[in-house]
């Protein structure tokens, strides 16, 4: 596991989005204490340490992140700009977005527009 650089850590600490578990914001789980930052993506066997690729989860949901992986991945993709995603050409980001959207819609009845609205994204 790679540590988050100090500069990025201070940026994340000031970001209101990073102060609330994304599963609570989406209405899936009601969290009550603490936030841990989760890296859903790896590239060349290293965690992607960029603002868009780190999402806030409560400790309880961080332990169960595999159950919510499609939602976590979709939120991080929605936070990224096309230019940020271009830095990682080995991934087909559009295909991954469509796949996670399908899973989120089928599992939690959430699509990208609903998630963007709930999370205050874009």
DSSP 40-97: --EETTEE--SGGG-EEE-HHHHHTGGGGHHHHHHHHHHHS-HHHHHT-TTS-HHHHH
Residue 31 has pLDDT above 80, yes or no: no
pLDDT single digits (tens) 55-65: 999 999 999 99
Q: How large is the average pLDDT for residues 47-68?
A: 93
What confidence score (pLDDT) does residue 116 get?
A: 79
pTM of the model: 0.89
Sorted by where each begins, the domain ranges of the chain are 6-119
SS3 content of the chain, % helix, strand, coil (to 5): 55, 10, 35
pLDDT single digits (tens) 101-111: 999 999 988 88
């Amino acid at each position: 596991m790679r540590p988050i650089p100090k500069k990025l850590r201070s940026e994340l600490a000031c970001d209101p989005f990073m102060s609330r578990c994304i599963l609570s914001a989406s209405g899936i789980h009601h969290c009550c204490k603490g936030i841990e930052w989760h890296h859903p993506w790896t590239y060349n066997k290293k965690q992607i340490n960029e603002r868009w690729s780190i999402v806030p989860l409560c400790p309880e949901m961080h332990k169960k992140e595999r159950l919510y992986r499609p939602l976590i991945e979709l939120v991080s993709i929605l936070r990224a700009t096309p230019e940020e995603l271009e830095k990682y050409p080995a991934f087909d980001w559009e295909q991954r977005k469509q796949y996670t959207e399908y899973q989120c819609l089928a599992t939690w009845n959430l699509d990208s527009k609903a998630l963007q609205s709930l999370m205050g994204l874009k």
